Structure 1
């Protein structure tokens, strides 16, 4: 069973295998564990590093029927818990990108003794604007995004990837994200993205008691500054640090700044 869990999620254990300190990296929608490649080497000497691929991403071996059962973030949270259980992990520090930050929140709430620190990168508790809440999109704009995705997935990817990366001076990053998005089965990608963009985890993040660092690029087309400020306000004792970077993937567009921020927070 343990080997199945590790193989299904393409779990990779890098860095200092003998270290008592573990960093677990959780990638976001449409990417895979390679999105951490510019960050992880900085921590390899001191920490054991655990990386994995979400269902349908990268080297994940989870079959099609299982992927379609991942209609809620609670299922993704169970994936992380299963990985931690298979590796007998305790007192981990979890570094999560984008929607995986909300998955990490669910893990921390369910097993508060498992995670000692959280790092959120480009995180958002709710993407759609609400009364007295400055989300990233109006409902009509979110509907247009989903309609375009449903009508022609490959065309949507070609348009969406450059906009979300938002680094025209680094075109290879957009090409990389396009490739990982196109590896997803379109219907699975649509179901997952629909769930993400319409999700609301404001209640859950307000219950977090784990020390949390929120890292956010100044020009992220998918996460508004108000949404980041909201997280900082409701997560007790959290730290919000703005990264001099564009786009939704600061770990790729400015890895040095992300490394420095993480290093100043973890122990």
Structure 2
């Protein structure tokens, strides 16, 4: 990413969006290219170096964890970890799609999950 931002953004956009949604890939790619590479790198470093596992037990509110079944950025083991360590009632909602951005790749599936989750609370 730091050595060749353009190559990273071009390669990451289709992986992050996942599904065969060319307009969503194009839009996400455009947003990556609109960011300054140094700021994008800083954001990524912050995300990947931040460890909040120690506070998960302090979350007592009911949680719904939504994850695509094929997420290139977050493995399924993270979902299992969250379910095991959040203190409130935790529901896992897998989305049968790929990518890390279901709001781009499968918005109708995500909307259904969100409606179900909101109806429970």
Same-fold status (TM-score > 0.5): yes
Q: CA RMSD in A?
A: 1.2
Question: 2 CA distance for matches of 1:207 and 1:153?
Answer: 38
Alignment of 1:248 onto 2:100: yes
Question: 1 CA distance for matches of 2:74 and 2:80?
Answer: 11
Instruction: Determine if contact 1:244/1:254 at 8 Å carries over to the other structure.
Output: no
Instruction: Determine if contact 1:161/1:174 at 8 Å carries over to the other structure.
Output: yes
- In structure 1, runs of 5+ residues without a counterpart are 1-148
Q: State the 4+ residue runs in structure 1 displaced beyond 3 angstroms.
A: none
Instruction: Determine if contact 1:173/1:252 at 8 Å carries over to the other structure.
Output: yes
Give the TM-score taking structure 2 as reference length.
Answer: 0.90
Alignment of 1:224 onto 2:75: yes
Q: Normalized per residue, which structure has more helix?
A: 2
1:62-211 to 2 correspondence within 5 Å? 149-167=1-19, 169-211=20-62
Structure 1 residue 205: deviation in Å?
2.1
Question: 2 CA distance for matches of 1:173 and 1:256?
Answer: 14
Identify which of 210, 214, 221 aligns with 2:65.
214
Q: Report the secondary structure of 1:206's partner residue.
A: helix
Q: Which protein has greater RCO, CA pairs closer than 8 Å, 6+ apart?
A: 2
Give the TM-score taking structure 1 as reference length.
Answer: 0.42
Structure 1 residue 217: deviation in Å?
0.4
